[in-house]
Amino acid sequence: MKIVVGEGSCGIAAGAEKVRQALAQQDLNGATLTIAGCVGMCYLEPIVDIYEDGKELKRLVRVTENDAQKIAEYTQTGDESAIESLLVSDEDKQFLEKQTRIALRRCGIINPDELSDFLEADGYTALKKVVCEMTPEQVIDVIKTSGLAGRGGAGFPTWFKWNAARQSEGEEKYLICNADEGDPGAFMDRAVIESDPHTLIEGMLIGAYAIGAKNAVVYVRAEYPLAIKRLERAIEQATAAGYLGDNIFGTDFSCKMTIKAGAGAFVCGEETALIESLEGHRGMPRLKPPFPAQSGYWRKPSNINNVETFANVSWIINNGGEAFAAMGTEGSKGTKVFAVTGKVKRSGLVEIPMGKTLRDVIFDIGGGMKGDKAFKAVQMGGPSGGCIPADLIDTVIDYKALGATGAIMGSGGMVVMDESTCMVGMAKFFLDFTAKESCGKCIHCRIGTKRMLEILTRITEGNGQPGDVELLEELCYGIKDGALCGLGQTAPNPVLTTIKYFRDEYEAHINDKKCPSGECSALIEYSIDADKCRGCTLCARNCPVGAISGTVKNPHTIDVNKCIKCGKCLQSCRFGAVVKR
Amino acid sequence: MNERVDLDLINPVLDELAQVKGSLITILQKTQDIYGYLPKDAIVRISERTGIAESEIMGVATFYTQFRLTPVGKYLIMLCQGTACHVNSSELILQTIKDELGIEDGETTEDGLFSLKCVACLGCCSLSPVMMINENTYGSLTPEKTKKILKELREAE
C-alpha cells in the first residue's frame, strides 16, 4: 500500500505537510508514506491518495491532521468505513475525469523529488528517441505537424520559432524557458514545475537539440520558492544520471541547464525584457526586430518558450504530431491548461482540448457559480486580456474565437465573476497593476497607463465626467498603437472589453454616481433595516469611527456623513439587518 | 539611513560571482538573503568588486519589487493582490492587518516584529485570499483567521 500526500504550494498552504507529519506518527502497517505534487483539484486540498495493488485508487479530500488516525485504521483493518467520510464524491471525481491531461499528465501522481518515479512513467524516453534516432529537422517537423503553439499567451507556432533559431548561424545558442508566470490568477506553470519538473527539463532538452543549443536556462519568478527548489533538485538528479551535461545518451549532444530567479517584475514575462533581466539589467524590453531567434541572450540566437509549451513536447514526440493535432480546432491544436478561480464552485487546474467552450469549463467541470449566483463575466488572459460576458459563454476555446471577443486566450488564468464584481472596478484593478508594472521606457505605456488609471479612479470615486468613456477609448487606441512591447500594447484590453460589454456600468458610475454591483465604496451607502435590527449593539461597537448610534434592543442607525464604508457593520451583524446599496 | 553592517559577510558571494557576467541580480538576491535588505554600504562594495557603477546597481535594485533598501521586521507579511484574491475580498484582509498591526503597506511595526507589503499574484489562486509570511503560505483567509495567525506569531515571541 502506498499513501501519497499532495504537496504543491496550495496543498501545503492548506495544511498538507501537517497531515503528512501526523500520518508519519501513526502505525501505517508497513504502507509507504510519500508525496506527490499538485493534481490540480485545489478546492479539495489537502488531498491524500491511497494506492493498493489490484484496487481502485482511493482519493481522500479535505484531509486534516485529525484524520490521520482514521487512515491508519484503514491500513490496519482494510475497513473502508474508517475513511468513508473523506472519500472524494463521484461528482467531484468528474472534475478530473472530464479533463484530457497531457501537460499535467503526471502532476499529483508521481513524486517530483524522485527521478525513479519519472523514469517509471516513461520519463526521458522521448529525449532518447530524439537524440538517438532523429535529426533536429525531423524534430521540428513533428512539432510542426502537432500544431503546438506558444502556451504563454501569444499562441505563436512553436515549430516556427525553433526553426528560426535553428537557421541562425553560430555555435553559441540558448534555449530559454519563461517560467515568469506573472499573470495574476495563473498558476499552471507553477503546478508543472512543482509536480513534474523533469517533464520541463526533457521538453527543454528536446528544444535545445532542435535549435542546436548547448545551454539552457530557466527563468523562474521569485515568488515561486518551492518550484525553484524542486527544479534545482531535478536538475541535479538529471545531471548525475546523465540526462543533462555531456554526451547525453552517448551521443554528440551536450547541454547544461541553469536556473535564474526573477526578482519581481511582471514585464520580465515579455521575452526581450526577460533576456535583459537574465543579463543582470533592469527588465526593459528591446525593439523587435531583431527577434531573439537572431539576437537574444548575449545577442546570440535564442529561443524562448513557456513552461506549458515545453511540457507538451515529450508527449508529442512519443505519440506523434498527428495525435496532438487530432485534438482541438482548425487553428488551435492540442490541449490547454486553465487555472479556474474566482466565484466558481470547483476552483483548480483544468486541462481540456481546444474546441471546448467556456461553458464546459465553468459550468460543467467547474461546477457552476458559488452560491448559485448569476454568472456575470469571466476574465481571461490577465492584465493583457479581457472580460467575456455571460451572453458569450458558449465561445469556443480557440485562439481566434477568443480574440474575436476582444479578450485573448492568455496564459490560462480564468477568473470567474458574479454580480457582486464591479466591471469598472476590474478595469481599474488591472490598470493599477499595469501602471505599477510598466517599465517606463516608452511614453505611451508609462504615461498612458497612469492617465487611464487616473480616469478610472475618478469614475469609481464618483467623480466621473461625461466624455470620460470616449477619452478612455481614445487613450486605449493610442497606447495600443504606440507602446513598445506587449505589456503596453495589451494594457488597454481590460478597459476596452469592459467598455464594450459593460458600458452601462460606466454610465451608471459617471451619470448616476451609482455602482450597480455595490462594490465601489464611494458610491455605496450602508444603512440599517429597522425591521430586522435587534439592537444588539454589535455593529456600533465594531464601527471604527463611531458612526452608528442606538440603544440596546432598539433599532440602530448609521450616520452616513461619518461612515467610512469599511463594511465592519455588515460583517458583524448576525441578523442581516445591515444593507449595502 | 546608513546602518553599519559587516561587509565581510558578502565576500563569499562576491568571490563566486563578481566576475561572472550577468550575475548582478543573483548577487543582490544573495546579499538580501544575508542582511534581510540591501544596505547602502553593501551596494558600494558590490560596485567595487564587480566594476558596475553604483548608479546602475541602484537602478536594478529599485526596478525589481523583491529588493528592499530598508530593513524589514522579523515577519514579512506579503499580501497577494492578484485577480482571484481581489475578487474574493483581499481588501478586507488588508484592512484587518492594517487595523491589527497599526501599519500601512510598506511599513514595519514599532517593535520590529511585522512588516506589511502588498505583492503581486503569489499563484495560489484557488485558496484566495492568500498571504505569505516569510516562507509560509496561508490561504482561505478570513479576518478571524488572519487575526489568529498574527496573534500566534506574536505569542511565540
Interface test with A, best of B25, B126, B140, B146 (most A CBs within 10 A): B126
First to last CA, chain A: 56
Nearest to A297 by CA among A269, A277, A282: A277
Nearest to B25 by CA among A102, A283, A409, A301: A283
Does the beta-carbon distance from A14 to B25 stay under 8 Å? no
Beta strands per DSSP E along A373-503: 375-380, 386-389, 413-418
A residues 225..244 contacting B (CB < 8 A): 225
Nearest to A191 by CA among A216, A227, A220, A166: A227
Residue in chain B lying closest to A542 (CA): B99
Interface test with B, best of A187, A224, A343, A429 (most B CBs within 10 A): A187
pLDDT at residue A104, rounded to an integer:
97
pTM of the model: 0.92
- Interface A-B: count of C-beta contacts within 8 A: 143
Phi-psi region of B112 (alpha: psi -120 to 50; beta: other; left: phi over 0): left
Q: Which residue has the cell 493535432?
A: A325
In tens digits, chain A (581 residues) has pLDDT values of: 999 999 999 899 889 999 999 999 999 999 999 999 999 999 999 999 999 999 999 999 999 999 999 999 999 999 999 999 999 999 999 999 999 999 999 999 999 999 999 999 999 999 999 999 999 999 999 999 999 999 998 899 999 999 999 999 999 999 999 999 999 889 999 999 999 999 999 999 999 999 999 999 999 998 898 999 999 999 999 999 999 999 999 999 999 999 999 999 999 999 999 999 999 999 999 999 999 999 999 999 999 999 999 999 999 999 999 999 999 999 999 999 999 999 999 999 999 999 999 999 999 999 999 998 899 999 999 999 999 999 999 999 999 999 999 999 999 999 999 998 999 999 999 999 999 999 999 999 999 999 999 999 999 999 999 999 999 999 999 999 999 999 999 999 999 999 999 999 999 999 999 999 988 988 888 999 999 999 999 999 888 888 899 999 999 999 988 888 878 888 889 999 998 87
Radius of gyration over alpha carbons of chain B, in Å?
Answer: 18
SS (H, E, C) A272-312: HHHHHHHCCCCCCCCCCCCCCCCCCHHHCCEEEEEHHHHHH
CA distance B122 to chain A (A): 6
Residue B87 has pLDDT above 90, yes or no: no
> What tens digit of pLDDT does each residue of B17-52 get?
999 999 999 999 999 999 999 999 999 999 999 999
Residue in chain A lying closest to B60 (CA): A282
Report yes or no: A130 and A138 within 8 Å, Cβ to Cβ: no
Q: Residue A348: its chain B contacts at CB < 8 A? A: 126
